Structure 1
Amino acid sequence: MSQQNNIPAGIGLMIAATIVFALQDGISRHLAGTYNTYMVVMIRYWFFSAFVIALAARAPGGIRAAARTQQPGLQIFRGVLLVAEICVAVYGFTVLGLIESLAVFICYPLLVAALSGPVLGESVGWRRWAAIGVGCIGVLIILQPGMGVFDPLAVIPLISAFMFALYALLTRYAARQDTTATSFFWTGVAGAVSMTAVGLWFWEPMARADWAWMAALCVTGASGHWLLIKCYEMAEASAVQPFAYFHLMWTAILGISVFGETLRPEVVAGATLIVAAGLFTLWRERQQG
């Protein structure tokens, strides 16, 4: 990718990506609330893998160059891990709602920081550990364990966040030998193949109107990734990453206005702590970079 340094354009693309991903979450919740989660994710991945293959075919060297890797096992595991995480996340939307799920899920940057030591061998200083601790307090405020109202299902987005953090770290590890294009190719193809092996067993008829929603889900999935790719081409990740938290705001608006969800004060307080801790961690990475 040819790196530019147009920060305003990068910020605009990141905000656009968060809007698209929030719409994707809403459509996923609607479809997975009616149909089997595995089938919904499988069809979405068929389109995503076609998008990835089309990108690879247009790049120099074509599909063969994109698929070339010295670590196929790692690349396949990454792809399978991400599609499994998406299944867990979408299931969380259906049982917990968009707001509660995403409010917990946004702790994943802190999990990345915590796991970067054991997975990548990076040093994690006391300031980052303090930020991780604050983020954990935020998660506990949202989940309210021991208050007599704790729902075991609330752990689902936490599992999803852990899986996504591990995926992010393995992607960083894979980047030591493979290009971004190669990792992106394997993410789509390995995810589609593994999801098809599972999802076909759960196929069920879909209403004609919902096929339109399914098409919208496929388009938002591909366009969201395209916007992120363009965003990181335009500006450094450290400059635009704080704006990724807009995803939570758009999702909250969607959850309240479309699905009739409520915004509990505990969710606001906990999410605020998680976002603040995440931004501090990002700032520390930028200072050390």
Structure 2
Amino acid sequence: MNTAASGAVGPHTQGILLMCFGVACLSANDAIAKTLTAGYSPLQILFLRNLIALPVTIAITLVMGGPSALRSHRPLAHLLRGALWVVAAMMFFTSFIYLGLAEATALIFGAPFFITLISGLFLGEEVGWRRWLAVLAGFVGVLVVIRPGGAAFQPVSLLPVATALVYALLMLSARWVDRRESVWTLLVYLTGAGALLSALVVPFVWVPVRAGDLWLFAGIALFGTAGMTMMTQAFRIAPAVVVAPLDYTALLWATLFGWLIWRDSPDAMTVVGAAIIIASGVFTILREHRQAGA
């Protein structure tokens, strides 16, 4: 047996490692954002995150996709996608002011079910009864977490749910982008459009940035960009059915960060609801993989 060959890391393993590290980075990004909401508007946090991240994103795009990756055939599509992302990020960051990190993270995982719902009802895609059952189960999981009508219900819990809906629209809007453009083009234009659109209104909520917080803003840009880059690359080198379920490890990181920083811990109902959401999400991923015949 060739020792070097046997010790080589295959694409599946590489994809798994990249996805795990990417999810961890995005979870750190969310934890820093929650910390910053104590002193800054979510809009200002988003603007500075994108502004700092943009040069790094451009450099990554040049390395991974070459100069041609900076050219867009449909810039308006990217601008519209940027608007969706700004709205989603604004709602998600705002929810951090009132909710625990794990609870907000669990609710945003409703996005796959909104994608299925929109695809089946409005885009004319064929959705089988098994996937509809998965959507229903995911919705039940969301209801378990937010508990509408109960004593523990907070209207602000609807913000991550709305974030999941807008995020689903963002994912589906990738169809508007010219097929000749790479994922790196999408990444750099999403960051650039987010910086541009948030810059238009950030003067109305701007407060001076404290010197001691500069490293937090640098951190959110670093972890956010690194996470998106690694997760993008994971989907490029390994099958989605292998790496997509690992996105749910964000709940473990969110719970850990929530406990370490704020001594928050999800209650039993949140854990049960999150488990239902994860189970139905993983089922949806596996079902789509089988239907694709991969």
Local SS of the residue matching 1:256: helix
Cα distance change, pair 48–118 in 1 and its aligned pair in 2 (3 A): farther
Equivalence for 1:161:
164
Cα distance change, pair 35–137 in 1 and its aligned pair in 2 (3 A): same
Distance in 2, matches of 1:123 and 1:180, equals 26
Structure 2: any 5+ residue segments left out of the alignment? Answer: 1-8
Equivalence for 1:140:
143
Q: Give the structure-2-normalised TM-score.
A: 0.90
Distance in 2, matches of 1:90 and 1:119, equals 29
Check whether the contact 1:67–1:186 (CA below 8 A) recurs between aligned residues: no
Equivalence for 1:94:
97
Q: One-letter code of the match for 2:78?
A: Q
Residue 68 (structure 1) aligned with residue 68 (structure 2) = no
Cα distance change, pair 60–222 in 1 and its aligned pair in 2 (3 A): closer
Q: Which moved more, 1:40-49 or 1:178-187?
A: 178-187
Cα distance change, pair 51–83 in 1 and its aligned pair in 2 (3 A): farther
Which of the residues 80, 83, 92 maps onto 1:77?
80
Local SS of the residue matching 1:34: coil
Residue 9 (structure 1) aligned with residue 10 (structure 2) = no
Q: Give the structure-1-normalised TM-score.
A: 0.92
Deviations along 1:124-155, one digit per CA (max 9) or x if unpaired, are: 11111100000111111111112233211110
Residue 152 (structure 1) aligned with residue 155 (structure 2) = yes
Equivalence for 1:276:
279
Equivalence for 1:35:
40
Check whether the contact 2:65–2:182 (CA below 8 A) recurs between aligned residues: no
* Matching of residues 206-225 of structure 1 within 5 Å: 206-225=209-228
Q: Which moved more, 1:202-211 or 1:40-49?
A: 202-211
Q: Which moved more, 1:261-270 or 1:164-173?
A: 164-173
Distance in 1, matches of 2:14 and 2:63, equals 24
Which of the residues 223, 244, 248 maps onto 2:247?
244
Residue 170 (structure 1) aligned with residue 159 (structure 2) = no
Residue 23 (structure 1) aligned with residue 40 (structure 2) = no
Cα distance change, pair 95–62 in 1 and its aligned pair in 2 (3 A): same
Distance in 1, matches of 2:160 and 2:52, equals 25
Structure 1: any 5+ residue segments left out of the alignment? Answer: none
Q: One-letter code of the match for 2:120?
A: G
Cα distance change, pair 175–98 in 1 and its aligned pair in 2 (3 A): farther
Check whether the contact 1:120–1:173 (CA below 8 A) recurs between aligned residues: no
Distance in 1, matches of 2:166 and 2:208, equals 30
Cα distance change, pair 154–126 in 1 and its aligned pair in 2 (3 A): same
Local SS of the residue matching 2:158: helix
Check whether the contact 1:119–1:169 (CA below 8 A) recurs between aligned residues: no
Residue 129 (structure 1) aligned with residue 132 (structure 2) = yes
Cα distance change, pair 88–236 in 1 and its aligned pair in 2 (3 A): same
Q: Which moved more, 1:125-134 or 1:230-239?
A: 230-239
Deviations along 1:93-148, one digit per CA (max 9) or x if unpaired, are: 11112111111111111111211234543211111110000011111111111223
Compute the displacement of 1:58 (Å): 4.2
Q: One-letter code of the match for 1:203?
A: W
- Percentage identity across aligned positions? 29
Distance in 1, matches of 2:277 and 2:198, equals 31
Compute the displacement of 1:56 (Å): 3.8
Local SS of the residue matching 1:263: coil
Cα distance change, pair 6–76 in 1 and its aligned pair in 2 (3 A): same
Local SS of the residue matching 1:35: coil
